[in-house]
Amino acid sequence: MLEFLRGRDVLVAGWGVSGRSLIEPLKDIGARPVVTDAGAKAMAEAAELGLDTATSADLLEPEALQRFALVITSPGWRPDSPVLASAVTEGIPVWGDVEFAWWVDQARIYGPVRKWLVITGTNGKTTTTQMTHSILRAAGIPSVACGNIGLPILDALRRNPGPQILAVELSSFQLHWAPSVRPEAGVVLNVAEDHLDWHGGLDAYAAAKARALTGRVGVVGLDDAVASALARKSKARRTVGFRIGVPADGELGVVDGKLLDRAFTKAAILAEVGDISPQGPAGVADALAAAALTRSIDVAPQFVKEGLQEHKVGPHRAAHVRELLGVEFIDDSKATNPHAARSSILAHPNVIWVAGGQLKGASVEDLVEEVREHLVAAVVFGVDAPVIAAALARHAPDVPVVELSSGDDQGMGDPFTSEIEPDAVMARAVRVAAGFAHRGDTVLLAPAAASLDMFADYTHRGRSFAAAVQALDEKDIGRTE
């Protein structure tokens, strides 16, 4: 499948983590990588490594793209990006880095073909991927967690000794650009409004997620209406489901506080709900999904139990930061859409909600209406803070709301550049939130939005929240200004 690339130029569109991972494999199969990126710094870095580069302007010249046998795009590039759209018009194939990694694996460039366990969904992907990897480690199976979780798949394939199984977290962007992937097993955890601006609507977004259900075994979250509906459209040879409730035949579920498998055996107890981290319905659902994936490749129940017991929640995922005068501070910066924020808020009875950022076309109306009884107050910031504040005014008019902007505190913005100082905004948000809090309350960072309007990424946002919390004094609790 990759022979057509030997001796040919291949355009690498995007010099990020995935773009860098393409270079050595392309060279290993005899192709010549050429890098394009909108950033001058990125282009300079690629050139310093001795790589050929091409600007978008050069590539859009008549017939300029004809030199390339293939374009491999970073997942964030939209299909209507000028270079990608021009390549399609000229009949040049466009792959994502995941698609290319799939064919590199199938061609046995770096050893025997691996089994791919693919994890996707609007929320819970990273936790489920980590749980899956933890179970595989407990079973003694050489494996690696890769993909959207941070390690590019190509880097995982090039490891020596190499893994036998890949626990692959894939975003909707990656799946859109990877139509050939046929995993050993794949799961769609849930589907809620997210990245609608990129995909053009919920149907296209769900269709991208459904590409995880094309292999030997497909797994769907039955408690999620959209994911459950995908079971009827699954192209997997066998499709099973999981639910937080009593499982029917062919399902995994929960009975008397125990995770039960009735899909891959008559009935097998896999783990105790109390052993799952993170606690709560979302964590249990992720554990059931990880159990389904690993049971589909005959991992014994005892190793599912051991792996789930050993797994601990990662940073910025409903992580406890501090308790001060009976007020708990929780960092769930990874809650980058309303669906994720919903699970986070509903896990606590009395919440001072810290939220805001880029909603990416998602609506918060249903979220606010559902969680309003849990809200003591809300502090919102970021580009879509007015949208969240308006939803709160409509559906939770009795909940106090403070909307912050760059002018709300000294030092929050540079008056000469109008640049927002995100850490100062966060510090102000945390102080205001703490002022609403009393013993038994939870100050919860669950933004329901992406972070890039203010922060480098969600981890920066979470670190900023944690630093602001640590800077609080007892006198800040319950002291509205």
Q: Tell me: the pLDDT tens digits for 416-472? A: 333 468 999 999 999 999 999 999 999 999 999 999 999 999 999 999 999 999 999
Residues 306 and 325 in one domain: no
Q: Map residue 316 onto helix, strand or coil.
A: coil
Domain range spanning residue 220?
108-310
Binding-site residues for ATP sit at: 121-127
Where in 198-294 does DSSP place strands (E)?
A: 217-221, 238-242, 251-255, 258-261, 268-272
pLDDT for 284 equals 95
CATH of the domain at 39: 3.40.50.720
- Residue 232: is it exposed, middle or buried by C-beta count within 10 angstroms (0-12/13-18/19+)? exposed
Whether 479 is in a domain gets the answer no
CATH of the domain at 185: 3.40.1190.10
Whether 101 is in a domain gets the answer no
Whether 103 is in a domain gets the answer no
Residues 330 and 442 in one domain: yes
Residues 232 and 152 in one domain: yes
Q: Measure the CA–CA gap between 305 and 135, rounded to whole angstroms.
A: 8
pLDDT for 202 equals 83
Taking alpha carbons only, the member of 378, 404, 382 closest to residue 391 is 378
User: Which residue numbers in the chain have pLDDT < 70?
Assistant: 193-200, 406-420, 480-481
Residue 185's φ and ψ, nearest 5 degrees, are: -155, 145
Residues 129 and 226 in one domain: yes
Binding-site residues sit at: 121-127
Question: pLDDT tens-digit profile of 1-58?
Answer: 899 999 999 999 999 889 999 999 999 999 999 999 989 999 999 999 999 999 999 9
pLDDT for 301 equals 98
Residues 344 and 455 in one domain: yes
CATH of the domain at 448: 3.90.190.20
Taking alpha carbons only, the member of 387, 481, 360, 369 closest to residue 429 is 481
Whether 97 is in a domain gets the answer no
Last residue of a domain, one of 259, 275, 310: 310
Answer for the pair 451, 333: CB distance below 8 angstroms, yes or no. yes
Whether 300 is in a domain gets the answer yes
Answer for the pair 185, 218: CB distance below 8 angstroms, yes or no. yes
- Exposed e or buried b for every residue in 88-122, given b needs 16+ CB within 10 A? eeeebebbbbbbbbbbbbeeeebeeebbbbbbbbb
pLDDT for 299 equals 98
pLDDT for 196 equals 60
Tokens of 305: 């139990």
Last residue of a domain, one of 285, 310, 335: 310
Whether 481 is in a domain gets the answer no
Residues 381 and 363 in one domain: yes
Last residue of a domain, one of 68, 92, 116: 92
Residues 219 and 343 in one domain: no
Whether 32 is in a domain gets the answer yes
Q: Measure the CA–CA gap between 185 and 117, rounded to whole angstroms.
A: 5
Residues 51 and 157 in one domain: no
Q: Measure the CA–CA gap between 290 and 286, rounded to whole angstroms.
A: 6
Per the structure, the count of domains in the chain is 3
Residue 450 has what DSSP assignment?
A: B
Residues 429 and 460 in one domain: yes
Whether 170 is in a domain gets the answer yes
Residues 174 and 239 in one domain: yes
Residues 117 and 230 in one domain: yes
Residues 331 and 437 in one domain: yes
**Residue carrying the six token digits 């990125």:** 42
pLDDT for 81 equals 92
Q: At what angle do helices 281-295 and 125-138 cross, to 10 degrees?
A: 50
